[in-house]
Amino acid sequence: MLTGEQYKKSFNDGRATFFEGHRVEDLVAHPVLGQSVDQVAEGYDRWRQPGEDARNPLISVPRSAEELRARIPMQHGADILALVTYQSIMTLTTAADRISGALPEFARRIRAYVEKAQASDIRIVECITDAKGDRSLPPAQQDDPDAYTHVVSRTDKGVVIRGAKLHITAASLAHELMVIPTKAMHKGEESYAIACVVPVNAPGVKIINTSYAPRQEDVRSFPFSSRIHMPEGS
Ligand SMILES: Cc1cc2nc3c(=O)[nH]c(=O)nc-3n(C[C@H](O)[C@H](O)[C@H](O)COP(=O)(O)OP(=O)(O)OC[C@H]3O[C@@H](n4cnc5c(N)ncnc54)[C@H](O)[C@@H]3O)c2cc1C
């Protein structure tokens, strides 16, 4: 498991993230985003246990009703990035179970990914909401083909995707982006039916942040959001 300090160092990976018109070179030192980094780092330190086999209980899959019940008070004290990582892991685990009969190799790969993510104690965000463009038109009929994330080419190493995902909680502070379609796709929309995981620092990924954190120096009117806030990334 990572310490808060190791988590902070993991941002030195060339990620392209922007805030109020500027590229953020140092997330940890940033006056607004740095406070959110601190919240996540505190969570890392709070739940850390020593040992190579240690796993963060917040991002482990509950195996019984008792374990699920015990998780609730833990979640109430957790930062939202740990919570969306847990949701991502549960989404992937559920998908692996559902497809294991028809697509056993894909189920095996998903489970291997989940195991690796838990072992390396990374944080994952859920990139579901597409830009969508004209809501009355399906993905393939949009003027802008990138209104929904889609595959633009395939190589022997994998796929190349394009598109915009909006309002992604804590995107800039995570390690990986779990991309899944925003709705069920139909015949003719196969290139839009893409689910994959993209490293935050992958070539071409750009994240524009917004934050509800107050910018005023006097924060008496913002007793909660001046202390606890998390940016959304698009
Ligand atoms: C603080 C915050 C955090 C978020 N975090 C995440 C995140 O981590 N990951 C993520 O993937 N998303 C995230 N979201 C996005 C959120 O899930 C979406 O905003 C939400 O799903 C609505 O989508 P939209 O904004 O595109 O609205 P729209 O789809 O444009 O909907 C707007 C309104 O129009 C209605 N509408 C839409 N289409 C039609 C239609 N064809 N006919 C009639 N009515 C229609 C809807 O019911 C709704 O009332 C976040 C949003 C916020 C505000």
Of 111, 91, 89, 90, residue with least CA distance to 100: 111
Of 17, 180, 5, 178, residue with least CA distance to 84: 178
Of 97, 72, 99, residue with least CA distance to 83: 72
- Compute the distance between CA of residue 115 and CA of residue 92 in angstroms, rounded to an integer: 11
Is the pLDDT assigned to residue 141 strictly greater than 90? yes
**Would you list the DSSP string of 69-92?**
HHHHHHHHTS-HHHHHHHHHHHHH
- Of 53-57, 110-114, 204-208, which range is least confident? 53-57
Residue with tokens 């019940």: 69
pLDDT of the residue at 52: 86
CB distance 27 to 11 below 8 Å: yes
Is the pLDDT assigned to residue 97 strictly greater than 90? yes
Write the pLDDT tens digit of every residue in 146-176.
999 999 999 999 999 999 999 999 999 999 9
Mean pLDDT for the chain overall: 95
- Compute the distance between CA of residue 37 and CA of residue 4 in angstroms, rounded to an integer: 9
Average pLDDT of the segment spanning 184-205: 96
pTM: 0.94
Average pLDDT of the segment spanning 136-148: 95
**Would you list the DSSP string of 156-221?**
TTEEEEE--B--EETGGG-SEEEE--SS---TT-GGG---EEEETTSTT-EEEEE------S--TT
Joined tokens for residue 195: 């689910």
Average pLDDT of the segment spanning 125-131: 98
Is the pLDDT assigned to residue 216 strictly greater than 90? no
- At CA 140, angle to CA 136 and CA 143, rounded to 5? 70
Please tell me the distance between residue 44's alpha carbon and the centre of ligand 1 in angstroms: 30
Which residues form the pocket of ligand 1, taking CB atoms under 6 Å from any ligand atom?
84, 125-129, 132, 135-136, 167-169, 232
Is the pLDDT assigned to residue 217 strictly greater than 90? no
Write the pLDDT tens digit of every residue in 46-62.
999 988 899 999 999 99
Atom of ligand 1 nearest to the CA of 169: 8
**Per-domain residue ranges for the chain?**
15-213
pLDDT of the residue at 77: 86
CATH class of 15-213: mainly beta
Average pLDDT of the segment spanning 121-131: 97
- Number of residues that this document lists for the chain: 234
Please tell me the distance between residue 34's alpha carbon and the centre of ligand 1 in angstroms: 27
Tell me the best of 125, 129, 180 to mutate to test the pocket of ligand 1, counting ligand atoms within 8 Å of each CB and taking the most.
129
Query: Which residues, at least 6 apart from 72, have a Cβ–Cβ distance to it below 8 Å?
Result: none
Write the pLDDT tens digit of every residue in 6-45.
999 999 999 999 999 999 999 999 999 999 999 999 999 9
Please tell me the distance between residue 131's alpha carbon and the centre of ligand 1 in angstroms: 9
Please tell me the distance between residue 129's alpha carbon and the centre of ligand 1 in angstroms: 7
Name the closest-CA residue to atom 37, ligand 1.
135
Please tell me the distance between residue 63's alpha carbon and the centre of ligand 1 in angstroms: 32
